[in-house]
Amino acid sequence: MQTDSSFTFVLFGGTGDLSMRKILPALFEAHRAGGMLADSGKIVAVARHAADRDGYIEWVNEHVKPHVSKKGVDETAWASFLQRIEYVKLDLGKPEDFVLLRDAVSQHPGIRVFYLATGPSLFVPICRALASVGLNENARIVLEKPLGYDLKSSNAINDAVGEIFAEEQIYRIDHYLGKEPVQNLLALRFGNALFEPLWRREWVESIQITIAEELGVEARGDFYDNTGALRDMVQNHLLQLLSIVAMEPPHSMDSDSVRDEKLRVLRALKPIDPSEISKVAVRGQYHAGVIRGNSVPAYATEPGVKPDSTTETFVAVKVEIENWRWAGVPFFLRTGKRLADRVAEIVVNFRPVPHSALGASALRGGANRLVIRLQPNETIRLYCLAKQPGEGMNLASVHLDLAFDQFFREGQMEAYQRLLLDVIHGRLALFVRRDEQEAAWRWVEPILNEWAASNKPPKPYASGTWGPAAASAMLAQHDTCWLEEEN
């Protein structure tokens, strides 16, 4: 992908964890690949901690360099990448600092991208300060999650930002939408005649979407204890993945066509009656346990967490879509911390054959399934039944693999790299539109409200397991189970 589009990428929160681990490494990979970033493109880091550019470059060398590609660092490419970086020390409480930022940005031609890798409480003050010096004109603004605490606060942020930036200037990022297998899910469905006829209620029995983490809250106890897994993962990542899986074929891959179809799915989610929430939603909280042979503490003893916290670190929920394609098909969403493995995957369980002359094994659920794994290794695997070698007609499960790292010689593009390039080139399809976000908040709010009003604590589960038993019991009611297999 060649480009001559000049740009200035302004990174607020330039010394933050996200900048260190994801954003700057992704920009370096695009730089190293050659041709993805215009030679004239500049990165302007904004922070309060480093005194000057030399101090910031020292921080980048110490903290960012270890997070770049597993292939190692090309020192020549790294040195030339550092030449792109400028630095502005900025205090939000000092309007004159934004004048300095304007002067720094105005020296460079091309489009302007403002990436807010900060807490959501700073989104509106930063946007207003940018507008006060005219930096909102012909610019693009990137907002990280979480965008609000509930529907009301999300609308408040969107209203305030929307007064300064037009909707087509706003890029609400969800990095799961940039992952290669998610892109391949679209290719699989809409580029092949094989799967699309089967992608409906007549042939699909159930669908699971899991994002599981081995890590706990780490150093984010203060943030996480006021957020929880439902807000942190379900409202955005999981519902976005669900909308990609369930959407109708768009007439083209332009941004509004794709997002229109995702919105139709989110608006078709069956509302959950508050009296039914305990039957279709499970919340849990991890207790002490063992992860890969190491003892780990309970959530309530993590730094920054209140000892009597009722914040959920695990959520499993059953979702139904009230439309012609998916009526009656349960979608099971699951996410949690301190689980048995780090994995993100989509599992499409097809219905068994209506009658088997080959024995009961051909009638069991899950014999035919498609597993789209997003992490840690990105693959698509199709399971089916085949005859075992030898005498008799004994069936066994076999699978066909598409392992991207083995099939394609060129390296895969990381999610943040793809999304940052899309921002620079003005492609909105993989970013969340405001009406999508509102529909997702509207669906999860009854669960949030019921849990807030309930005196029942989250169900405990030991670290290193797959969560509360109630999550498995919920699937057992539908004669199925979670797919839990080794990587």
| Length in residues, the chain | 487
- pLDDT tens string for the chain (487 positions)? 445 579 999 999 999 999 999 999 999 999 998 889 999 999 999 998 878 999 999 999 999 999 987 667 889 999 999 999 999 999 988 999 999 999 999 999 899 999 999 988 899 999 999 999 999 999 999 998 878 889 999 999 999 999 999 999 999 999 989 988 888 888 888 888 888 889 999 999 999 999 999 999 987 888 899 999 999 999 999 999 999 999 999 998 888 999 999 999 999 999 999 999 999 999 999 999 999 999 999 999 999 999 999 999 999 999 999 999 999 999 999 999 999 999 999 999 999 887 777 766 666 666 889 999 888 888 888 898 888 888 777 787 888 887 766 777 666 788 999 999 999 999 999 999 999 999 999 999 999 999 999 878 999 999 999 999 999 999 999 989 999 864 4
Q: What is the pTM of this model?
A: 0.92
| Catalytic residue, candidates 49, 237, 355, 425 | 237
Q: What is the pLDDT of residue 4?
A: 56
- Kindly list the distances between the CA atom of residue 393 and the CA atoms of 205, 365, 382, 386, 472, in Å, as whole numbers in the listed order: 26, 19, 22, 9, 32
Strand (E) or helix (H) holding 86: strand 85-89
The pLDDT mean for the chain works out to 91
Q: What is the pLDDT of residue 2?
A: 43
**Is 237 among the residues known to form the active site?**
yes
Among 344, 310, 317, CA closest to 224: 310
Question: Exposure string (b/e) for 53-83, b if CB count within 10 Å is 16 or more?
Answer: eeebbebbeeebeeebeeeeeeeebbeebbe
Q: What is the pLDDT of residues 382-395, one digit of tens each?
A: 898 888 888 777 78
Query: Which pairs from 466-470 meet CB under 8 Å and 24+ separation?
Result: 466/212, 466/339, 466/340, 467/282, 467/284, 467/314, 467/316, 467/334, 467/336, 467/339, 468/282, 468/284, 468/314, 468/316, 470/282, 470/284, 470/316
Which residues have C-beta within 8 Å of that of residue 217, sequence separation ≥ 6? 224, 225, 299, 302, 304, 305, 313, 337
Q: What is the pLDDT of residues 93-108, one digit of tens each?
A: 899 999 999 999 999 9
Q: What is the pLDDT of residue 379?
A: 83
Domains and CATH numbers, the chain: 7-144 (3.40.50.720), 177-411+438-476 (3.30.360.10)
Q: How far apart are CA 202 and CA 30, in angstroms?
A: 43
Q: What is the pLDDT of residue 484?
A: 82
Q: What is the pLDDT of residue 361?
A: 65
Q: What is the pLDDT of residue 1?
A: 42
